[in-house]
Amino acid sequence: MDCDSRTVEEHEERRDSLSYRLFKAFMRGSFEGSLNAPRLKMVDADCIREIAQAVVTAAAKEGSSVIVGRGSAYYLRDRPDAFHVFIYAPFEDKVRRLRAMGKSEEDAVHLAETVDRDRSAYIRQYFGIEWPKRHFFHLMINSKMGDEMAVRTILNGIKSQ
């Protein structure tokens, strides 16, 4: 994408702001904007979603892989060889994990409150689906059970498929 990873992180699995979407609509709708838009190499939710879809589907074609997020359950929903797992956590556990990663209490609470909301809006916009739609997943796990138990549960689920 010809940009640094931090730029992608700021936009992935999120909808662009209303002001940016209006700006982009103006750019596409104006003669000058339509001429210059390709040269600007804008990194936004649309282009990141397109790249994510290409990367996810290419990885699935290559064979065994683990893909975390990026809409993979929706891109690969028709592949019989894909095993989709949804991992969730209680709010307090999300905050605790974010704090352990070095976030302040305020930042951890804010992220825990907004990430799921942003992800839900993203999935709704790009896939027309209310998130998380249970029937897209083979297994849903509460991460409160611990990492080791979650991994064992996933591996057992894959074996029994």
Ranges of residues in the chain whose predicted pLDDT is under 50: 34-35, 39
Q: Strand locations in the chain, DSSP E?
A: 85-88, 139-142
Residues 6 or more apart from 43 whose CB is under 8 A from it? 1, 3, 7, 8, 11
**What is the reported pLDDT for 48?**
78
> Which of 44, 51, 39, 47 has the alpha carbon at shortest distance from 19?
44
> Which of 87, 83, 88 has the alpha carbon at shortest distance from 72?
83
Residues 6 or more apart from 80 whose CB is under 8 A from it? none
In the chain the domains, ranked by start, together with CATH numbers, are 1-66 (no CATH), 83-161 (3.40.50.300)
**What is the reported pLDDT for 50?**
85
